[in-house]
Structure 1
Amino acid sequence: MDEPVTPCVFCEIAAGREGAGRVLFEDEHTIAFLDHTAVMPGHTLVVPRIHAADLWEISAGDAAAVMRTVHLMAARIRDVLRPDGLTLFQANRSAGWQDVFHLHVHLVPRSADDHLARPWVAAPKSDAELAAVRALLVNGHRTPPEP
């Protein structure tokens, strides 16, 4: 499991000790601010005030508060910046491409002709492959192989 860097830069921002000039919104549970490594103008991060390394460590209530602020900021980005679209991105642990180990959601305003690309290529899976994964997730164990 990945360990957070001490001190956590997002905890420092949430506490008002860093990045005050980038803060867009804050409430009791969350803070939204411009990403200092923005990939597009308006690239915003939403974080919980409480430290939680990732989605597996945050409480359901704090996760819901983060999503409420994401929803609010998405509307503000839409209404003010008028992008063609919006990409949300949330990564967990190093293998999931997380690089700051405090849960955060990226809101990236998009234009139809911007320079960003999808990180993977989707391909359909067979019904058997989907059924095997479904059985794991629904039942909590692997299904026996078919004869």
Structure 2
Amino acid sequence: MSFTAVWPISDPRDSDAADSLTAGGPEDVEALVNRLAEPGAGAAVLEHLDRETMTDTEGLLGAPGATRMPDHDVVVAVRDGYGYLVYTDVEHDTATLEGAPESPGYHSEYVEYPDGSGVPVEVLTAALKDFLATAQRPTCVEWREI
């Protein structure tokens, strides 16, 4: 099982700066979380490579019906000592983690994480390891629909 992660990097010298990682084991998940905690790292879009794809009937990625796309939308971020995760798939509405009440919201280019949705980085790491191993929404964390 594996997933890819792609994220922007805020760099005043390069407006197109980005990074990526393919996670195939727990150590890769730990490396991803560490890299997302680096200054300038934005929220990462994850695609689990062992999940089904679906037809893009709305034309989000090209002509309607001509392209396949992931059947899930997973976005992860690390900011100010908190981990953030949003998950959507064909079986689950969009949800974020039920985090620490004192955690601030985080607004990335791609998704907004509400106040109280940040968790300790160790909890985020465990959730991503669960996602890697099962290709399903992690069950080791609590979710709240947004």
TM-score (norm 1): 0.26
Higher relative contact order (CA 8 A, sep 6+): 1
TM-score (norm 2): 0.26
Normalized per residue, the structure richer in helix is 1
Normalized per residue, the structure richer in strand is 2
